[in-house]
């Protein structure tokens, strides 16, 4: 098993700093091998476990990785650099395809002489069903980590194999090949989902539906495996609609009229480019969720170059707003010059809004809005305004 995974990893990565000959390379403080358990589980009350993949990493510094667990059917390799500039590489090899669902248990098993990992978070609806792990180098770098990923539930061994073979009780290691003709996969069923009003987000078995990393919103067609699933439709400011154990079959369609949630309050105001921080008239309490949507045009550069709530991008066309910070000062470097900003309380932290923002409020206070430009004389030649729609309601899950 370990040798097969070594072949997949394709050799070690170079260390960020090569040690002198005859010296032991330095490592970040971390657990010595053996401190981590050989097997880690989020529950032990499971009678049937099946391997659905192998994951490994080579690192030069402590790293945190997020591993998706659903619908992974192809081997994947990734590499990059950490925030401190040291390189890392990861490898995933699927064994079985785990469809979206709830009620799964998960287990990690350290592979051979490789180092294990710390579990930061087990997969859940809250973290988009990702396994979050921390790998810590020990006894020199690069350090090599590898774990076997297992899922537990009644029927786990019947999951479809990633190599196309039928599910079964036989456990095979990376590199093994099943004989015989592969079974044909059952294609997902396209389901048309529509809501009134539109732009509701869709969850299937707790997983937010996306296409090319973009969240799908109604009206749209979602491909879902045949069978029974929990389908949840959410639009900010409206009651959530959930279909429990909805039977997905060809030709079915979901059409729903959403009902406003009276716990949510809404207000639309005009925010000018010349003014100081503008009082929205809305007070937010700790735990509230606020959603801000902005549209319109304003000009804060004095060159009659109107721009929307995103502000002027730092591009060839608008670089003149960034080369002289004295002539074109920004309140925060975390947003474009001329972008829409917010703060809670007159001295609160400045937060970029741009065209859209949804956030959970940690510390309450009055909501203020403004433009990303230094206050005072810099705004004398500003023109235009934005229309800003503000909605506030109880926190998610309330």
CATH of span 189-257: 2.60.40.1120
* H or E element at residue 197: none
Work out the pLDDT band at 3, boundaries 50, 70, 90. Answer: low
Inform me whether the pLDDT recorded for 10 exceeds 60.
no
Contact in structure between 54 and 148 (CB atoms under 8 Å): yes
Q: What is the pLDDT of residues 319-346, one digit of tens each?
A: 889 998 888 899 999 999 999 999 999 8
DSSP state of 69: -
What CA–CA distances, in Å, run from 335 to 42, 116, 273, 312, 341?
A: 40, 40, 16, 9, 8
Tens digit of each residue's pLDDT (9 = 90 or more) over 308-324: 999 999 998 898 899 98
Torsion sign (Cα): 356, 360, 366, 372: negative
For residue 9, the surrounding DSSP H or E stretch is helix 2-9
Could you tell me the pLDDT band of residue 29, with boundaries at 50, 70 and 90? very low
Structure confidence by residue, pLDDT tens digits, 61-108: 888 999 999 999 889 998 888 767 788 899 999 999 999 887 889 999
* pLDDT at 371 exceeding the cut of 90: yes
Global pTM reads: 0.52
Mean pLDDT of the chain: 82
Domain borders along the chain are 2-158, 189-257, 265-393
CATH superfamily to which 265-393 belongs: Galactose-binding lectin (2.60.120.430)
Is there a common fold for 189-257 and 265-393? Answer: no
């Amino acid at each position: 098993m370990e040798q097969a995974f070594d072949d997949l990893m394709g050799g070690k990565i170079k260390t960020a700093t090569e040690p002198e000959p005859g010296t032991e390379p330095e490592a970040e403080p971390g657990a010595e091998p053996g401190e981590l358990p050989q097997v880690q589980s989020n529950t032990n009350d499971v009678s049937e476990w099946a391997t659905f993949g192998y994951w490994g990493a080579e690192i030069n510094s402590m790293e945190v990785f997020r591993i998706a667990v659903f619908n992974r059917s192809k081997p994947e390799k990734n590499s990059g650099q950490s925030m401190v500039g040291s390189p890392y590489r990861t490898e995933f090899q699927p064994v079985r395809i785990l469809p979206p669902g709830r009620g799964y248990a998960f287990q990690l098993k350290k592979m051979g002489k490789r180092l294990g990992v710390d579990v930061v978070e087990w997969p859940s609806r809250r973290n988009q069903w990702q396994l979050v792990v921390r790998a810590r180098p020990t006894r020199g770098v690069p350090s090599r980590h590898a774990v076997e990923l297992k899922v537990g539930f009644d029927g786990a061994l019947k999951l479809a194999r990633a190599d196309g073979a039928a599910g079964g009780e036989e456990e095979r290691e990376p590199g093994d090949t099943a004989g015989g003709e592969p079974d044909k996969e059952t294609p997902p069923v396209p389901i048309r989902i529509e809501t009134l009003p539109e732009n509701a987000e869709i969850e299937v078995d707790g997983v937010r539906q996306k296409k090319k990393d973009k969240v799908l919103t109604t009206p749209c067609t979602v491909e879902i495996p045949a069978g029974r699933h929990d389908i949840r439709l959410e639009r900010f400011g409206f009651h959530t609609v959930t279909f429990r154990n909805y039977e997905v079959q060809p030709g079915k369609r979901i059409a729903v009229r959403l009902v406003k949630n009276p716990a949510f309050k809404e207000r639309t105001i005009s925010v000018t480019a010349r003014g100081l921080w503008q009082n929205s008239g809305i007070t937010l309490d700790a735990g509230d969720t606020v959603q801000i949507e902005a549209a319109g045009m304003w000009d804060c550069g004095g060159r009659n170059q109107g721009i929307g709530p995103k502000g002027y991008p730092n591009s060839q066309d608008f670089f003149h707003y960034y080369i002289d910070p004295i002539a074109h000062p920004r309140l925060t470097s975390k947003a474009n010059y001329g972008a829409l900003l917010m703060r809670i309380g007159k001295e609160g932290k400045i937060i970029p809004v741009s065209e859209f923002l949804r956030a959970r409020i940690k510390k309450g206070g009055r909501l203020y809005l403004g433009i990303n430009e230094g206050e005072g004389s810099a705004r004398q030649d500003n023109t235009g305004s934005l229309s800003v729609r503000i909605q506030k309601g109880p926190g998610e899950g309330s």
